[in-house]
Amino acid sequence: MRLLAVAAAVLLAGCAGGPPHEPDPLVELPSVRLLVKAGGDPLPVVAARVEAVAHGLDARTTLDHSGPRPSALVPSSELAKIGWLVVDAGGIPPDMLAVSLSAQAGVVAVEVDARVRLIDPVAGEEAGPRVVLDPMVGAQWVHAKVGSPAAWDAGLDGRGVTIAVLDTGVDCSHPDLRCRNGGRDFTGGGSTADVVGHGTHVAGTAAAIGSNGRGGSGMAPRADVLPVKVLDDSGSGDYSWVAAGIVWAADQGARVLNLSLGGPVPSAALRDALAYATARGALVACAAGNDGTDRASYPNTYPGCIGVAATRKDGEVGTTWTNWGVNADIGIGGESIMSTCTQGRYCQMSGTSMASPALAGVLALALQGGIAPSAAVELINRTGVPLTGRLAGLSRPDVAALAAAIRAAPSATPLPSATLTRVPPTATRRAATSTPTAGGPPAPTVFPGATHLPPSALPWPCAVVGVEAGAVTIRCPYKAPSATP
């Protein structure tokens, strides 16, 4: 059709009596990438078939040597580990290529390499970045809310745990960040530097250095940050970049991964990458999204992701803009979060992008405490505070109670002492239970003479609330007895 239109334009110019008009050059449209899942046959065999099909279609769609660039396999050793190939369609119509590839032996699935984007900070009064000229831990309200200083004082600070930040990069020159050498860029920019500032804020929320006399503190102030740049300088990235980054981070030994990003399109490649990471013992925190909806977003709805909703400073409820439902497994503070920003600054941002790394830090504390990855989320929920409203049924971490449960476990190993800047205490996790009356709420259960109480012995959603004077005390929310005999 385009060639017919050009020919018609030339004929009309000739009829008008004017000089011959050279047609405008064909504009090369942006190429589309496809992700191809191999199965049944060895990956190199399937790759050869895919390449042969693509080159055959190139010959049919390229009219001359000045036509669109040919298709090509894009090397990705990380995606190859989970059985996926990346194909640049070049000038081939993506739907034509997808249909042809799907018919090949050994091809299990074909999907478009869709785009993902950082979860943008929430617009409005709390949107950032807003520079904080005199930052301090006391300005970080989440610490006071969840009781993280009690965990730090008990030696739970994330040391020995690496948190991979899959984002826009990280400004590792910031004096309040401890980056592990060997980060990686998957966007083609050649550097993990953070131009946007999003990834740097995320990194500080999870693991800004504590007790160093500057700025604030991350949730796991002695954890290491591994920068994995999967979003370009516009804040967007390909699903293939994210999937490859997940695989690479897991191979580097990162025990916690944070994904403060999302997209509307499901992806089997992302799902497989998450399964690869979790099979290697990694825990993955994923931002639930800021659209105020329960519509699914990806990758956080996949089983490998722990979907993190944002809660408010006041009360135990979600923010008005946090996603919920299938997107959320747990909630934690996400509004007015002060953290590190580029160029050595500090700033506030709001969003589930900020809630997710806070949970990533809590996960690092649990792993440092010897909790198995398969049990960490259950223990965090069990010792947490029940949420209400649209987040009813979920919990908000109580890091002080989590630390008490870890120290009470028989397998708990002695933790190193740590002295970090204290936050003024706020309201306790739950109001003290009154003396029980007939049919009323139960008093805390005390185990005299006990020094350890395994977390597995606590019925959900009970929690350890004290370990002192040779006794372990637990408390359980009251549930009225059923009228059914």
pLDDT digits (tens, 9 = 90+) for 195-213: 999 999 999 999 999 888 8
Q: Distance between CA atoms of 204 and 399, rounded to whole angstroms?
A: 18
- Cβ–Cβ < 8 Å for 311, 317: yes
- Domains in the chain, please, with CATH? 27-113 (3.30.70.920), 118-408 (3.40.50.200), 432-485 (no CATH)
| pLDDT score of 124 more than 70 | no
Give percent of the chain with pLDDT exceeding 70: 73
Catalytic residue among 353, 356, 395, 398: 353
| pLDDT score of 372 more than 80 | yes
Which pair of structure tokens corresponds to residue 413? Answer: 């190993």
Query: Is residue 58 annotated as a catalytic residue, yes or no?
Result: no
| pLDDT score of 309 more than 80 | yes
Query: Is residue 353 annotated as a catalytic residue, yes or no?
Result: yes
- CA angle at residue 147 from 403 to 125, to 5 degrees? 140
Q: Distance between CA atoms of 289 and 119, rounded to whole angstroms?
A: 6
* Amino acid 122: pLDDT: 83
Determine how many CB atoms are found less than 10 A away from the CB of residue 484.
Answer: 4
More confident residue, 259 or 58: 259
**Exposed e or buried b per residue across 131-148, where buried means at least 16 C-beta atoms within 10 angstroms of its C-beta:** ebeebebebbbbbbbbbb
Q: Distance between CA atoms of 373 and 456, rounded to whole angstroms?
A: 14
- In the three-class reduction of DSSP (H, G, I as helix; E, B as strand; rest coil), residue 363 is classed as helix
Q: Is the peptide bond before 461 cis (omega within 30 degrees of 0)?
A: yes
More confident residue, 80 or 29: 80
Which pair of structure tokens corresponds to residue 467? Answer: 């370990």
Query: Is residue 167 annotated as a catalytic residue, yes or no?
Result: yes
Catalytic residue among 88, 113, 157, 167: 167
Written as one string, the DSSP assignment of 81-122 is: HTTEEEEE-TTS-HHHHHHHHHTSTTEEEEEE--EEEE-PPP
Question: What average pLDDT does the structure give for the chain?
Answer: 80
| pLDDT score of 127 more than 50 | no
**Exposed e or buried b per residue across 31-57, where buried means at least 16 C-beta atoms within 10 angstroms of its C-beta:** ebbbbbbbeeeebeebbebbeebbeeb
* Amino acid 411: pLDDT: 56
pLDDT in tens, 285-301: 999 999 999 999 999 99
How large is the angle between the packed helices 43-61 and 94-102, nearest 10 degrees?
140
Lowest-confidence region among 91-105, 363-377, 437-451: 437-451
Catalytic residue among 198, 297, 339, 356: 198
| pLDDT score of 114 more than 90 | yes
Averaged pLDDT for residues 179-201: 94
* Amino acid 362: pLDDT: 98
pLDDT in tens, 394-425: 999 999 999 999 988 765 444 443 333 323 33
Lowest-confidence region among 108-112, 217-221, 389-393, 459-463: 459-463
pLDDT in tens, 131-182: 433 355 677 899 999 999 999 999 999 999 999 999 999 999 999 999 988 7
Q: Model confidence at 61, in pLDDT bands (50, 70, 90)?
A: low
Q: Distance between CA atoms of 191 and 330, rounded to whole angstroms?
A: 33
pLDDT in tens, 13-54: 333 344 444 444 444 446 799 999 999 999 999 999 999 999
* Amino acid 123: pLDDT: 67
pLDDT in tens, 231-276: 999 999 999 999 999 999 999 999 999 999 999 999 999 999 999 9
- Cβ–Cβ < 8 Å for 456, 463: no
Which pair of structure tokens corresponds to residue 27? Answer: 């504009």
Question: For the chain, how big is the Rg over CA atoms in Å?
Answer: 27
User: pTM for this structure?
Assistant: 0.78
More confident residue, 438 or 156: 156
More confident residue, 170 or 121: 170
